[in-house]
Amino acid sequence: MSATMALACVLAVFGGNALDEWLDTSPLFLLGFLIYAIASSLYMMIKSLGNEL
């Protein structure tokens, strides 16, 4: 599960950085994608832990 969370964050950083460079925006997409990746990873972790109880 931690590898999935880390992979989501890494992909969000690389994808957000690429879009920011392409569209010449500051860290807009980088931060947006990273926040989304962290939030969705936490949601999936809580959902997974709830199923185990």
- In a structure prediction context, what are the per-residue pLDDT tens digits for the chain, which is 53 residues long? 889 999 999 999 999 999 999 999 989 999 999 999 999 999 999 998 887 76
Q: Which residues contact 16 (CB under 8 A, 6 or more apart)?
A: 27, 29, 30, 31, 32, 33, 34
pLDDT at 11: 96
pLDDT at 52: 74
pLDDT at 2: 86
Q: How many domains does the chain have?
A: 1
Local structure of 9: helix, strand or coil: helix
The count of other CB atoms within 10 Å of the CB of residue 46 is 10
Contact between 27 and 36 under an 8 Å Cβ cutoff? The reply is no
Domain that holds residue 28: 2-52
Q: State the pTM of this model.
A: 0.85
Local structure of 8: helix, strand or coil: helix
Contact between 5 and 41 under an 8 Å Cβ cutoff? The reply is yes
pLDDT at 51: 79
